[in-house]
Amino acid sequence: MRNKKIVRRCSVGLLGVLLLLLIFYFFYNIEKKIPNEIKLVVDKKESFDFNMPMEGMIETDNIGVISVNNLKVPSNQINIDLNEPFTLESSSTGKYNISLKLFGLFNFKNISLDVIETRELIPCGTPIGIYVETDGILVLGSGRITGKDGLNYEPISNKLKSGDYILSINGVKLNKKSEMIDEIQKSGGTDITLKVRRNKEEITVSVTPVKTPSGEYKIGAWIRDNTQGIGTLTFVSGDGQFGALGHGITDIDTGLLMDVRDGSIYTAEIMSIIKGKEGEPGELIGMIRQSDRYRIGKITENTFQGIFGTINGEYEETGEGPLEIGLKQEVRKGRATIRCTIGDATNDYDIEIENIDISNANHSKGIVLRITDERLLNQTGGIVQGMSGSPIIQNNKIIGAVTHVFIQDSTKGYGTFIENMVNNLE
């Protein structure tokens, strides 16, 4: 009898777990299929088919602006059935909100509907040298210091953290490591006050420098004030803006997105190629022409979607002219191309888009692609470091940019949707 009760309880428990897993999968599937944001181009009809048991309601004061299934809706509350295919069109730019209800009853999530003007971009695919200076002095970590008395000290222990930015010492603003070192020496070993930015908030900490056997004063902080590297220019816009990389510049030691104070992009020359193979990503080895003569743009933003800024007026892109952007709902599995520079030539290479995730769960990994062009495979083995930012083109539209390579398969990688990058231009 007792065994039967135990079996019954175990069965009920197992059914409960299975039910929870089914509910979790149901909601996870909805999140994967329905994006947090939808973009439309003004006066252009877009088709959608989410096949989900949900109803959406668009609230707008601009009555008659939005059309659903080719019908102008004379109401400030426009209903959409997401269980059936539907079309959306707007005669006016603007931002709207779509409120989703599960089974038409329960509030589930909100979608941002952004109607924009038609935008054309020049897809580039050219290598660039990148140099940025941090906004403050970046703390990488801490270490022990041997003082003049022979004892070990850790002055910043429990005071500074990896990823902090030191903005000033005793009220003196810092831009370079050398300035920070000078201020520490001036202290003569007395307490110094550091203004620090941590997770977008500013705090102050007091640190006592330690005198070393050489007579220098140190606080035991590993620091960085700049970084540089090779990447790919994704696009140039008609109004002189550029986007590159498709992902942000992160610090190699902390893995965090770097706060950038200033930066520039320069022309670069690819000198050699390390081919990618299983478990070992390849790399484009290049030379940055870091002088004013070869400076082609100023970096103004470092974001999770890439780096952005203004292009020099005299910079001329030798591409085939501008292309319309393709929004993520236009991206299809199948053939596409990427544009990149290998050696001295910029070419379009065949790829296959194998998977599309419009959910915005990860802005830099919405597209899974595979290199199919034998020319590129023979030269690089697939996607290599330095190709991040290579524009993805499908149906004569620029739809995205390459962002990452699969470590275990260099022929495959991720891409971001171009609309994620365009968001940073608006």
- Please list the residues that pair with 352 across neighbouring strands: 335, 370
Rounded Cα distance between 14 and 8, Å, is 10
86 and 155 together in one domain: no
247 and 328 together in one domain: yes
Q: Which residues are catalytic?
A: 247, 373, 388
> Of the ranges 127-136, 187-196, 316-325, 351-360, which one carries the lowest mean pLDDT score?
316-325
245 and 314 together in one domain: yes
Most confidently predicted of 50-59, 226-235, 268-277 = 226-235
378 and 297 together in one domain: yes
5 and 45 together in one domain: no
Q: What is the pLDDT of residues 83-134, one digit of tens each?
A: 888 888 888 888 888 787 776 666 777 878 888 888 899 999 999 999 999 9
Rounded Cα distance between 402 and 43, Å, is 29
288 and 158 together in one domain: no
98 and 237 together in one domain: no
Structural tokens at position 128: 């660039």
**Confidence grade of residue 360 (pLDDT, cut at 50, 70, 90):** low
72 and 149 together in one domain: no
301 and 263 together in one domain: yes
Average pLDDT over residues 355-379: 88
Q: What CATH number is given to the structural domain containing 82?
A: 2.60.40
Rounded Cα distance between 413 and 415, Å, is 7
Q: Is residue 224 in a domain?
A: no
Full domain range(s) for residue 343: 121-130+231-426
Q: What CATH number is given to the structural domain containing 421?
A: 2.40.10.10
Write down the pTM of the prediction: 0.85
**Confidence grade of residue 403 (pLDDT, cut at 50, 70, 90):** very high
23 and 45 together in one domain: no
Please state, rounded to an integer, the average pLDDT across all residues of the chain: 86
Give the number of other Cβ atoms within 10 Å of residue 374's Cβ.
10
Rounded Cα distance between 415 and 424, Å, is 17
pLDDT at 316: 57
Percentages (nearest 5) of helix, strand, coil residues in the chain: 15, 50, 35
What string of DSSP letters covers 279-326?
A: TB-EEEEEEE--SGGGEEEEEEEEETTEEEEEE-TT----SS--EEE-
Structural domains of the chain, count: 4
Q: What is the pLDDT of residues 191-220, one digit of tens each?
A: 999 999 998 899 999 999 999 999 999 999
Tell me how far the alpha carbon of residue 137 is from its chain's centroid. Answer: 23
Question: For residues 118-137, b (16+ Cβ closer than 10 Å) or e, as one string?
Answer: ebebbbbbbbbbbbbbbbbb
**Confidence grade of residue 318 (pLDDT, cut at 50, 70, 90):** low
Give the number of other Cβ atoms within 10 Å of residue 353's Cβ.
20
Which residues, in sequence order, are CB contacts of 289 under 8 Å at separation 6+?
129, 266, 267, 268, 269
Q: Could you tell me if 379 and 360 are in contact, meaning their C-beta atoms sit under 8 angstroms apart? A: no
Q: Is residue 137 in a domain?
A: no
310 and 351 together in one domain: yes
125 and 24 together in one domain: no
Q: What CATH number is given to the structural domain containing 208?
A: 2.30.42.10
Q: What is the pLDDT of residues 53-63, one digit of tens each?
A: 877 777 766 66
